[in-house]
């Protein structure tokens, strides 16, 4: 068996041997060269340092006692020159005392080799240090890659923050009736604060608090802000906007990510505030006359949780006097922590209000109190606070309507025809499909219940009274409905030809929009009376749900042979 340590399979190293004795140098060189490594020698400490600079050895064998500069001093200099690079130094010593040996290591050596030199041990140590050196080199490279990636990420976040600031904190936050405090790190805590004037002069505000932190939380703010600004500028009402935002976030955000939000419509003309809150702690309404605080609570789930059909856009309305204030915040205020770890909490906040002498100082007092509480720990980084005051609209200045931001969601000027014929008319219910298309129009979304009722009525009229020719007279009497539906089944089974066509014509108007629905059936029609005041009193009209239709539509008109009916729905988008 070969008792010698085989030369390692890795690349040959360069080893510096520093010893003032020639025989030592010769023997050590022979051992090291036999391992397949290259050798560089030095006869004292000074030369050792010079050789290190010149030759960049991988490992150093260093005698302790040498003239001109001893081993320990040489070791200190070499380690300094090596810097981050790991260059193992093995002291050569005839010392036996444990304390002396330890002192060698303390001075900067990595190991020692005692005389007489044991070839096997020296080779094993060289191999071990070679492995350590390679590992150190790998770690350093990995660290450098990580460091570069990290710098890259930090830079990207700065860019993201710049974009975010342009989107998420703009609008008319500098209006005279608003005071706000915004965390400088809001990219990282997902807070959004938006303010914009409507064409009517009212002011929309939105405070949003996305779950999570960092870029994922901030990304949801983009579509939210686009919708808010775009629809506000076009005069859409608050309920439509919040519904639209919820739908967008529900589509865009993964399950589990949502946005707690408060949206406000401040109407100066009506001296009223309208509030929608989802998932946020209580906000305060401050009455300037009495100094009293009223709690306004969230009654909704956060945005992005519910699908459109389940979403509730119901708002709370409060009349305001001049000088009344509404306070909105992210949970960073209530949950701010002192250096000792205490929570700021509601009681402290309420006492700021109680002790206040001048309402115009309230905002500053709150900010000051929170900052004071939080102290040096700087945890106020997470706070967003907004104070909204009801003022005279004359003091507000003109609304600068920003029409450049955001596309209007949904089409406003379009026409669509949809008809069913023959067997399809017998078996297929067209209402869900058509409602789906109408659903694409933001303002019609809030009317989807009414529209469904309306279209169901118009369709059943067209199909049953028109195509099938059933008389609504059949419905009268105690067995009326049973008889009617019996006849209906028979007539449906017998039908071979027939058609019902829906035409939708949607147009924007000065104040909002209008939707015309025309339903044409292939039946014989009926003798409708062209009445100037449209009383719809003749027999032929009964059972056609006219009162219901009239409650929804602006107008209803029969045309042709009575087999065409036209209804018009109109709406105003900016009345508040």
Partner 1 sequence: MAIGTSTNGNELKIQVEGRFDFSAHQEFRDAYEKADAGVGAYVIDMANATYLDSSALGMLLLLRDHAGGDSANVKIVNCNPDVRKILTISNFEQLFAIE
Partner 2 sequence: MSHLNLDEINELKDIMEDGFGELVEAFIADSEEKLSALHDALAQGNATRVGELGHSLKGASGNICAAALADIYKQIEHAGRDQNLDGVADMVSQAEAVFQEVRVELQAL
Q: 22 or 251, CB closer to partner 2?
A: 22
Interface pick for partner 2 out of 53, 115, 155, 317 (rule CB under 8 A): 115
Determine whether 530 is exposed, middle or buried from the number of CB atoms within 10 Å of its CB (0-12, 13-18, 19+): exposed
In the region spanning residues 202 to 241, those forming contacts with partner 1, defined by CB under 8 A, are 211-212
Q: Binding to partner 1 by residue 281, rule CB under 8 A?
A: yes
Spatial neighbors of 314 by CB under 8 A, at least 6 apart, are 239, 276, 299, 300
27 contacts partner 2 (rule: CB under 8 A): yes
* Stretch binding partner 2 (CB under 8 A), from 27-35, 129-137, 324-332, 445-453: 27-35
Min separation Cβ 124 and partner 2, Å: 15
Among 1, 2, 23, 398, contact with partner 2 (rule: CB under 8 A): 23
The 3-state secondary structure of 130-170 reads HHHHHHHHHHHHHHHHHHHHHHHHHHHHHHHHHHHHHHHCC
Is 255 a binding residue for partner 1 by CB under 8 A? The answer is yes
> With contact defined as beta carbons under 8 Å apart, do 498 and 537 qualify?
no
* Comparison of 281 and 323: residue with beta carbon closer to partner 1: 281
**371, 228 Cβ separation under 8 angstroms:** no
Q: Does the bond joining 116 to the residue before it have cis omega, within 30 degrees of 0? A: yes
* 3 state SS for 328-364: EECCCCCCCECCCCCECHHHHHHHHHHCCCCHHHHHH
Element holding 14 (H helix, E strand): strand 14-18
Q: Is 113 in the site for partner 2 (CB under 8 A)?
A: no
Give the interface segment with partner 2, choosing from 112-120, 267-275, 355-363, 511-519 (CB under 8 A).
Answer: 112-120
Q: Is 278 near partner 1 (CB under 8 A)?
A: yes
Beta strands in 334-485 (DSSP E): 385-389, 414-421
**221 or 305: whose CB is closer to partner 1?**
305
What minimum distance in Å lies between the beta carbon of 277 and partner 1?
A: 9
- Residue ranges in 86-105 that form contacts with partner 2 under rule CB under 8 A: 94
34 binds, among partner 1, partner 2, none (CB under 5 to 8 A by kind): partner 2
Report long-range pairs for 166-172 (Cβ below 8 Å, ≥24 apart): 167/221, 167/222, 167/225, 167/226, 168/192, 168/193, 168/194, 168/218, 168/221, 168/222, 168/225, 169/193, 169/194, 170/194, 171/195, 171/196, 171/229, 171/402, 172/196, 172/197, 172/203, 172/399, 172/400
26 binds, among partner 2, partner 1, none (CB under 5 to 8 A by kind): partner 2
Q: Is 21 in the site for partner 2 (CB under 8 A)?
A: yes
Cα–Cα distance measured from residue 369 to residue 383, given in angstroms and rounded to the nearest whole number: 13
280 binds, among partner 2, partner 1, none (CB under 5 to 8 A by kind): partner 1
For residue 218, which of 262, 183, 171 has the smallest C-alpha distance?
Answer: 183
From 114-122, 234-242, 422-430, 540-548, span contacting partner 2 (CB under 8 A): 114-122
**Number of residues counted as binding partner 2 (CB under 8 A):** 16
Distance CA 51, CA 65 (A): 18
- When CB distances are held under 5 to 8 angstroms depending on the partner's kind, the choice from partner 2, partner 1, none that residue 334 binds is none
Taking CB under 8 A as the criterion, the residue among 6, 22, 68, 351 binding partner 2 is 22
For 154-269, strand residue ranges (E) read 178-181, 191-197, 203-210, 259-267
Q: Which option in partner 1, partner 2, none does residue 22 bind, with CB closer than 5 to 8 A by kind?
A: partner 2
- Does the footprint of partner 2 cover residue 30 (CB under 8 A)? yes
Does position 368 bind partner 2 by CB under 8 A?
no
For the segment 52-91, give every residue that binds partner 2 (CB under 8 A).
Answer: 65
**Which stretches of the chain bind partner 2, using CB under 8 A?**
20-24, 26-27, 30-31, 34, 65, 94, 115-117, 119
**Which stretches of the chain bind partner 1, using CB under 8 A?**
211-212, 255-258, 260, 278-282, 297-302, 305, 310
């Amino acid at each position: 068996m070969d008792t010698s340590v085989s030369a390692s399979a890795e690349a040959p190293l360069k080893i510096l041997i520093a010893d003032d004795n020639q025989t030592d140098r010769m023997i050590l060189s022979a051992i090291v060269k036999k391992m397949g490594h290259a050798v560089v020698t030095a006869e004292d400490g000074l030369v050792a340092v010079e050789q290190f600079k010149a030759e960049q050895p991988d490992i150093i064998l260093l005698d302790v006692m040498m003239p001109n500069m001893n081993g320990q001093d040489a070791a200190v200099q070499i380690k300094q020159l090596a810097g981050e690079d790991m260059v193992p130094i093995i002291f050569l010593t005839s010392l036996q005392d444990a304390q002396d040996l330890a002192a060698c290591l303390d001075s900067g050596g990595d190991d020692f080799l005692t005389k007489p030199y044991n070839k096997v041990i020296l080779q094993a140590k060289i191999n071990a240090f070679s492995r350590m050196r390679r590992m150190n080199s790998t770690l350093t490279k990995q660290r450098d890659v990580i460091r570069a990636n990290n710098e890259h990420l930090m830079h990207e976040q700065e860019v993201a923050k710049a974009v975010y600031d342009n989107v998420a904190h703009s609008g008319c936050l500098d209006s005279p009736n608003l005071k706000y405090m915004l965390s400088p790190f809001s990219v990282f805590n997902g807070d959004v604060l938006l303010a914009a004037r409507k064409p009517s002069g009212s002011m929309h505000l939105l405070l949003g608090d996305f779950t999570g932190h960092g870029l994922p939380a901030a990304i949801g703010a983009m579509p939210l802000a686009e919708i808010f600004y775009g629809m506000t500028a076009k005069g859409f009402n608050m309920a439509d906007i919040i519904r639209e935002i919820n739908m967008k976030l529900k589509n865009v955000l993964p399950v589990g990510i949502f946005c707690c939000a408060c949206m406000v419509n401040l109407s100066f003309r009506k001296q009223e505030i309208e509030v929608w809150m989802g998932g946020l702690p209580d906000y305060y309404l401050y009455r300037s006359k009495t100094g009293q605080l009223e709690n306004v609570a969230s009654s909704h789930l956060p945005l992005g949780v519910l699908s459109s059909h389940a979403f509730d856009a119901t708002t709370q309305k409060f009349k305001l006097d001049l000088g009344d204030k509404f306070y909105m915040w992210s949970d960073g205020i209530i949950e701010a922590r002192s250096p000792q770890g205490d929570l700021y909490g509601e009681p402290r906040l309420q006492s700021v209000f109680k002790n206040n002498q001048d309402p115009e100082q309230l905002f500053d007092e709150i900010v000051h109190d929170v900052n004071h509480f939080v102290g040096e720990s700087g945890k106020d980084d997470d706070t967003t606070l907004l104070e909204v005051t009801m003022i005279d609209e004359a003091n507000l200045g003109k609304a600068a309507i920003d029409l450049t931001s955001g596309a209007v969601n949904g089409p406003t000027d379009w026409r669509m025809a949809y008809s069913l014929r023959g067997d399809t008319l017998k078996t297929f219910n067209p209402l869900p499909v058509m409602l789906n298309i109408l659903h694409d129009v933001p303002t019609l979304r809030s009317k989807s219940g009414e529209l469904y009722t309306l279209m169901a009525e118009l369709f059943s009229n067209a199909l049953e009274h028109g195509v099938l020719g059933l008389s609504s007279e059949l419905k009268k009497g105690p067995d009326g409905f049973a008889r009617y539906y019996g006849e209906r089944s028979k007539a449906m089974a017998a039908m071979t030809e027939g058609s019902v066509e829906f035409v939708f014509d949607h147009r924007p108007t000065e104040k909002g929009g209008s939707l015309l629905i025309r339903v044409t059936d292939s039946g014989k029609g009926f003798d409708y009376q062209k009445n100037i005041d449209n009383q719809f009193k003749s027999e032929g009209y009964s059972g056609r749900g006219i009162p219901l239709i009239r409650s929804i539509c602006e107008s209803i008109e029969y045309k042709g042979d009575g087999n065409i009916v036209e209804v018009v729905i109109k709406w105003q988008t900016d009345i508040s």
